[in-house]
Each structure stands twice: as C-alpha cells, then as structure tokens.
C-alpha cells in the first residue's frame, strides 16, 4: 500500500479533475478496494460493478474529501464498503449466510505493517481479542461481511433482541478498550 | 445499558450506524441527529476510522484489466455533459432566466480563444475556497476556475454578479463539480461585470430556491482589468 500522504496528494489532484492522478490512485488502491468489495459481496461480477461505482464516487467526491477529516484509506474504504453494502442489501431477500461464509478468518497481516494505520489495526484487533470470540466475530461479520442483526441472530442462534443487546455491550466494551 | 458512565449509548449507536446495523427508520433518525450534534459526528468518525483498519488487513485482489479501462474511460473528456451541473433553470427568478443565455462551450481552458479583459479573484476568509473568474468580450465568454475547495456535503456553491448600480445580485448558476468551466453570458449580464462584483454563496443542492442568495456569502471580489 502506498504511503498515505501520496494517496492524499492524489485525491487532492483528482479534486481538480486530474485524470492522471485518478489512474495513479486506481493503480495504488484498486486491489485493496476490490478485496473489500469481494469480501462484502462474495460475487465477482457484483464486486466489479461496485468497484467501478466506488471509483466514480471517488472522482465525483474527491473535492469533499478534505472536509471529512479522515485518513485517505479510511475515506476510500468507507466509501467503497458503503457502495458494496448498498448493493448487498439491494439483493432480493438479502441475507448473509454466515454459515456459508465459513470461518470468519483472521487475515494474515501484510508485510508492510509499518504505517500508523497498521498500528491502529493492531489496536482494534487487540481490543477485539479482549471480547469473547463470538462477540468479536459478530462485529467483524457486520463490518466486513455486511451481516445484519437477523443474520447474526440466526448464526449465533439467539433471539434478535438478545443479539442486539450482546453486540451493543460488545461495542461499548470495544470503545472503552480503544479509548484507553 | 452501560454501567460505565463515561461511555454513552450514543457511542454504541454510532458504531451500529457505521456497521450498517440500523434499520432504515433508525438510520434516518440517526442521520437527522447527525446534522445537529457534533459529538455524534465525532463518534461516527471515530468508528469509521477504527473499523476501516479492519478492512485494511483484508487480502488484496487484483480486479480484471478491462475494469481499469472501463473506470478510466468513464472519466475521459469525451463525455463532457455527464457532469454538467449548472442549475440555471432551478431558479424561479424570471430576471435570471431572462438575462441568462447559456451555451455549453468547449471545456478547453487556458487555451486559445479565451482572452479575458476582466478578472475576479475570490478567496474565502480561511483560504480553503479559491475561485478565479474571467470575462472575455470576444464571444461574451465567462470562465470559472475552482482553484481550491468546494461545496460542503449536500450543498452547492452559487455564483452571483452584483452590478455597480445593481440593487440585487444576479445568479450565474451553481458551480459544477468540474474544476473549470466556460459559458456564454448575455449582454445584460456582461454589462454588470465592468465595475461589478462577483460573489459566491453557500446554497442548498441545486442552488438558491429563491433567486437571491440564501446562505452565507463565502467570498466576494471586484472585477478588475487584466
């Protein structure tokens, strides 16, 4: 992954309509963002369409990036995930079958574990690890797989309201850990 | 719900929002609160940053080469009208509609064929928004260059000309997302420019609904001879 400052500069140039910067951003980030789309949608065709939509939104919204105050990868990932989730939810009877997803795997950290983002990732991983395994799995499934409460309740075989209470408690514990 | 008073239920709610766990009604209610509550916006930003780092560790996957071409082609200059967002007809002001003749002119900018005699430079107080404009009597062309900044989310920037003896600003339309734009103006508007002032205001999406500026005036600048 390219250095965040470089990505930020590219976004600033894209905001001015610089197509060359747009191509460079695509080359630097598309594999990461495609990984996000594939994880959410688990369907190559839909992931490709979502990725294209994501870059269109990046092109059109680059001038708004600065006011979000986010790091460039947070902005890009959030925007891409939201598009993929919208597509997922638009499927008829959208249900994420977590049993088909299989084990909600912990990905291996990449070799470039040096940036601040990486250390933040380690922090949230460490905090998730403090939660009971099924609770942290539910948080990951919601973010990475777009699981909804009904999917989670089905997967963990608990009533919907129980699932929500669980998860909210987990989120509060997570917040407490991250704020330490 | 929590026995820890320093961490509010709103934190959990903001996390649920970022995780896309709220149902449509809850989501809508939450988004309404967001516009008015900076603390809630901060909580959302916090969770977006935290959760996005989870995605940073996902395995990368190269999209097909054809997709790259599709993405890059879709922002190619061969489709100039795609992003053409001037909201001329959004204004009920008959005056504006009568005064403005609008033509889409080639998006070739700083190129030959544009020879401005009058300029205006606009910069917001904090320097985040910078707009340059020029008027060329040859062809009555008006050019707008957005050097820096843009409209806030869900808002638009609208340009106004205030003639030397004018009682009210006349709209030049909403500034499109494009960095540069050139269009033809009517002789009536051209007459306001010499000795006049250019202003940019913050407006609802699509431009002022009243035909007069409704939001903050972000910057103004007098036209000057080149």
DSSP-derived pairing of the beta strands B130-136 and B141-148: antiparallel
Residue of A74, A88, A90, A173 to mutate, testing the B interface (most B Cβ within 10 Å of its Cβ):
A74
Residue of B54, B65, B76, B127 to mutate, testing the A interface (most A Cβ within 10 Å of its Cβ):
B54
* A73 in contact with B, Cβ within 8 Å: yes
Given a cut of 50, whether residue A109 has pLDDT beyond it is no
Average pLDDT over residues A127-151: 94
DSSP-assigned beta bridge partners for residue B59: none
Amino acid A120: pLDDT: 66
Q: How far apart are CA B15 and CA A67, in angstroms?
A: 21
Average pLDDT over residues B20-35: 94
Mean pLDDT of chain B: 78
Report the percentage of chain A scoring pLDDT > 70.
82
* B21 in contact with A, Cβ within 8 Å: yes
B124: Cβ contacts below 8 Å, ≥ 6 apart: B130, B149, B218, B219
pLDDT band at B6, cuts 50/70/90?
Answer: low
Q: Determine, for residues A26 and B53 on separate chains, whether the beta-carbon distance falls below 8 Å.
A: no
Average pLDDT over residues B44-50: 95
Question: What residues in A contact B57, CB-CB < 8 Å?
Answer: 107, 109-110, 121, 125
Residue of B27, B43, B46, B60 to mutate, testing the A interface (most A Cβ within 10 Å of its Cβ):
B60
Average pLDDT over residues A32-61: 96
Amino acid A113: pLDDT: 41
Question: What residues in A contact B146, CB-CB < 8 Å?
Answer: 16, 63
**What b/e string do you get for A101-137 counting C-beta neighbours within 10 Å, with b at 16 or more?**
beebeeeeebeeeebebbebbeebbebbeebeeebbb
Amino acid B84: pLDDT: 32
B83 to chain A: closest CA residue: A60
Best CA proximity match to B172, nearest among B130, B211, B224, B220: B211
The listed range with the strongest mean pLDDT (A1-10, A75-84, B130-139) is A75-84
Lowest mean pLDDT among A49-58, A66-75, B171-180, B192-201: B171-180
* B165 in contact with A, Cβ within 8 Å: no
* A4 in contact with B, Cβ within 8 Å: no
Q: pLDDT of B187-221, one tens digit each?
A: 888 888 888 888 898 888 888 887 788 888 888 88
- Nearest-CB residue to A175 (from B7, B55, B83): B7
Amino acid A98: pLDDT: 61
Q: What are phi and psi of A49, to 5 degrees?
A: -60, -40
Residue of A9, A139, A152, A175 to mutate, testing the B interface (most B Cβ within 10 Å of its Cβ):
A175
Given a cut of 70, whether residue A2 has pLDDT beyond it is no
The residues in B 76-95 lying below 8 A from A, measured between CB atoms, are 76-77, 83
Average pLDDT over residues A4-28: 94
- Nearest-CB residue to A26 (from B16, B20, B68): B68
Average pLDDT over residues A37-42: 96
Q: CA of B145 to nearest chain A CA: how many angstroms apart?
A: 10
Average pLDDT over residues B13-20: 97
Q: pLDDT of B61-70, one tens digit each?
A: 999 999 999 9
Mean pLDDT of chain A: 86
**Helical spans, DSSP H, in B118-203:** 187-193
Question: What residues in A contact B77, CB-CB < 8 Å?
Answer: 19
CA distances from B203 to A13, B133, B158, B207, B218 (A): 25, 19, 7, 5, 10
Q: pLDDT of B138-188, one tens digit each?
A: 778 888 888 888 888 888 898 988 887 776 788 888 888 778 888 888 888
Q: pLDDT of A118-129, one tens digit each?
A: 566 678 999 999
Given a cut of 80, whether residue A25 has pLDDT beyond it is yes
pLDDT: which is higher, A119 or A40: A40
Lowest mean pLDDT among B18-32, B46-60, B199-213: B199-213
Q: Determine, for residues A139 and B19 on separate chains, whether the beta-carbon distance falls below 8 Å.
A: yes
* B61 in contact with A, Cβ within 8 Å: yes
Q: Which two tokens stand for residue B170?
A: 């006349």
Q: Determine, for residues A1 and B62 on separate chains, whether the beta-carbon distance falls below 8 Å.
A: no
């Amino acid at each position: 992954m390219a250095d965040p400052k470089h990505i930020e500069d590219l976004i600033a140039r894209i905001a001015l309509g610089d197509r060359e910067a747009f191509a460079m951003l695509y080359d630097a980030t598309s594999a990461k963002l495609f990984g996000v789309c594939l994880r959410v949608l688990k369907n190559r065709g839909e992931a490709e369409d979502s990725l294209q939509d994501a870059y269109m939104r990046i092109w059109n919204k680059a001038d708004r990036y600065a006011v979000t105050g986010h790091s460039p990868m947070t902005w890009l990932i959030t925007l891409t995930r939201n598009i993929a989730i919208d597509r997922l939810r638009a499927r008829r009877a959208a249900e994420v079958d977590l049993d088909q997803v299989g084990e909600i795997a912990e990905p291996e950290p990449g070799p470039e574990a040096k940036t601040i983002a990486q250390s933040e990732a380690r922090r949230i991983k460490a905090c998730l690890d403090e939660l009971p395994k099924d609770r942290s799995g539910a948080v990951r499934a919601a973010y990475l797989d777009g699981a909804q409460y009904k999917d989670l309740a089905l997967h963990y075989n608990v009533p919907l309201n129980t699932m929500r209470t669980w998860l909210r408690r987990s989120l509060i514990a997570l917040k407490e850990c991250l704020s330490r | 719900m929590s026995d820890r008073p320093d961490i509010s239920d709103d934190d959990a709610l903001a996390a649920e929002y970022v995780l896309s766990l709220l149902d449509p009604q809850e989501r809508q209610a939450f988004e309404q609160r967001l516009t008015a509550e900076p603390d809630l916006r901060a909580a959302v930003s916090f969770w977006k940053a935290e959760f996005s780092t989870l995605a940073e560790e996902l395995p990368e996957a190269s999209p097909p080469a054809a997709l790259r071409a599709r993405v890059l082609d879709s922002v190619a200059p061969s489709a100039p009208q795609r992003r053409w967002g001037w909201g001329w007809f959004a204004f009920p002001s008959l005056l504006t509609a009568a005064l403005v003749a609008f033509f889409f002119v080639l998006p070739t900018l700083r190129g030959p064929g544009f020879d401005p005699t009058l300029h205006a430079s606009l910069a917001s107080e904090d320097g985040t928004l910078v707009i340059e404009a020029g008027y060329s009597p040859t062809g009555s062309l008006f050019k707008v260059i957005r050097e820096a900044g843009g409209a806030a989310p869900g808002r638009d920037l609208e340009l106004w000309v205030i003639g030397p003896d004018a009682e009210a600003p006349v709209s030049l339309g909403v500034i499109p997302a494009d960095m540069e734009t050139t269009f033809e103006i009517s002789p009536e508007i051209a007459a306001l420019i010499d000795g006049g002032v250019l202003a940019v205001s913050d407006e609802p999406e699509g431009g002022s609904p009243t035909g007069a500026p409704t939001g903050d005036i972000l910057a103004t600048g007098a036209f000057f001879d080149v």
